[in-house]
Amino acid sequence: MLLQAARRDDRRYLNPVPTKVGGLSIMFKVGPQFFLGAKARSPREPLGPFHTDAAIYATQPRSGFRITWIGHATSLIEIDGARILIDPVWDERAAPTSWTGPKRFFPAPLELGDLPAIDAVIISHDHYDHLGAGTIRALTQMAAVARARWITPLGVGALLKELGVPAADCLELNWMDNTQVGAVKVIALPARHFSGRSLFNRFETLWASFVLTGPQHRLYYGADSGEWEGFREIGERFGPFDLTMLEIGASNPLWAEIHMGPEGAVRSFRALGGQGLLMPIHWGLFDLALHHWRQPIEAIWAVEGLKLWSPTPGIPSEVIASEELRSEWWR
């Protein structure tokens, strides 16, 4: 059995299977490519503008399942009566500073002040492209989030408290733990990745993927992960899923064990059971790798027989069984 609670070696959490995470040595290997290929990794022309009409949130989704993809890994998920914000990043840069680091390709289509009432905020891990410090500080001041539960893997709650989230509102989960958000059960599951907001605190907090299971719908949020054998067991124990959210961007053969890429996402989706729809995430917003910015979505679009659900950023979109959604906004 591969699915079990996370283990630690002293202060460091361990991946569910042996995993190599690169350090300075990888930087030396990719250095020339990084500087020579910079233009292709970002759009030549501004993207968008994208805009969310927040008035739609005054009505419940007809299907009971609706997602507003803000970009990259950030989504507002409405599922079986629960409204859940995942990995919120409205910050201009996925970085520790506001003056350097990966910059957004387009502004967030939904203004933070236009967010509807949120029942829960899920943080999958502490990396800057999944946990925006400025975003968290702003959310703590908003009435729409005042009653939300903040659900994180072990150890991430301390960072949220530093950013202003009340300790009583934070719930930390180990892998295999679960909690209830209205009628929706939220289950934290293993992922093959790592954590740390610098080179010096890696693995000190946990990372996770999540299953959301409601009375009518099931969603798997893969967050950041390399491929691993546990996907088959996740599908068997918690599926089938109406929608599976898997990362496709920021990949490279040098770090394939922690980022699956588009080809890995297809294999992982099939290992999870291959049922329902596949939503590609973790692409199209930040320059985090060496590939052309459109390469991940072009690669996955070319796969025959794959039911994709890929919306325009900011457009609240109903998730309807077996109905593909292939927005071409990126073209």
pLDDT computed for residue 50 by the predictor: 98
Vertex 330 angle, CA 240 and 280, to 5°: 20
pLDDT computed for residue 199 by the predictor: 84
Per residue in 142-177, pLDDT (tens digit) is: 999 999 999 999 999 999 999 999 999 999 999 999
CA distances from 175 to 27, 134, 232, 241 (A): 31, 27, 16, 19
- Per DSSP, the residues of 189-232 read E--S----SSTTSTTSS---EEEEE-SS-EEEE--S----THHH
> What whole-number distance in Å separates Cα of residue 279 and Cα of residue 321?
13
User: Which residues lie closer than 8 Å to 257 by C-beta, 6 or more apart?
Assistant: 19, 20, 21, 192, 226
Q: What share of the chain is helix, strand, coil (3-state, %, to 5)?
A: 20, 20, 55
pLDDT computed for residue 40 by the predictor: 78
Vertex 175 angle, CA 171 and 178, to 5°: 50
CA distances from 30 to 24, 247, 248, 278, 302 (A): 10, 21, 19, 30, 27
pLDDT computed for residue 28 by the predictor: 47
Q: What is the pTM of this model?
A: 0.95
Please check whether residue 294 is in contact with residue 328, taking contact to mean a CB–CB distance below 8 angstroms: no
Is 50-320 CATH 3.30.70.1230?
Answer: no
pLDDT computed for residue 23 by the predictor: 61
> What whole-number distance in Å separates Cα of residue 266 and Cα of residue 275?
12
pLDDT computed for residue 98 by the predictor: 87
Please check whether residue 210 is in contact with residue 186, taking contact to mean a CB–CB distance below 8 angstroms: yes
How many Cβ atoms are within 10 Å of 113's Cβ, its own excluded? Answer: 10
Q: Which positions of the chain have pLDDT values less than 50? A: 28
